[in-house]
Amino acid sequence: MNTSNLIQTVLIYALPVLFAITIHEAAHGYVARYLGDNTAYMMGRVTLNPFKHVDPMCTIVMPLLLYFATSGAFLFGYAKPVPVNFGALRRPKRDMVWVALAGPASNFIQAILWAAGYIVLTGVGMNELFFLEMCKAGVLVNLVMFAFNLFPLPPLDGGRVLAGLLPRRQAYAFSRIEPWGFFIVMGLVLIGVVGNYWLRPLIALGYGALDLILTPLSALFG
């Protein structure tokens, strides 16, 4: 593995990843607070300070080890989940859906902003490859986080959305998967189910949506 290429890749992705993780987690806490639960706010998690959300092992060490071990073929990591007391929400079953959707929604908005940045930079003749690659990385990172977190198994956001939409009895039965949900998701990732049948189609739809949303900007700077 080329060390200089690794360093360049880390530098390109560092800022987009920090923004993606920080805003994702803060969005959960902010919406939870708006809907009646102050748990995250009281614990200092409704903040854009990345150090409040980053887990040294799971956000930094584990992804780097996986990157080295697989020569860049597989990369995975996550931040400290924002604590939410769903019982404190004004309408717990409905509001948990909005709290869960807040994180992926923040990532899609960030993907729009990074893509807009790329269009503007290329439109004004910016040829500094580092910044252009960072914009592309920002789009990719956020679309991956958007799609992955919507996978419909707890403890991922998509699992909480599905639990909030199911009838109460079925939602309770479904939520009992959560203690094993992480291991189930990782197993599905490793055998290719999540990547081939969820991430790739949803990311492709995301890129298509970005093209549509940013058509006026592309025309302006084209």
Of these residues, 25, 128, 133, 178, which one is catalytic?
25
Q: Would you state the torsion angle of the CA atoms of residues 36, 37, 43, 49, taken in this order, to the nearest 10 degrees?
A: -60
25 given a catalytic annotation: yes
Where in the sequence numbering do the catalytic residues fall?
A: 25
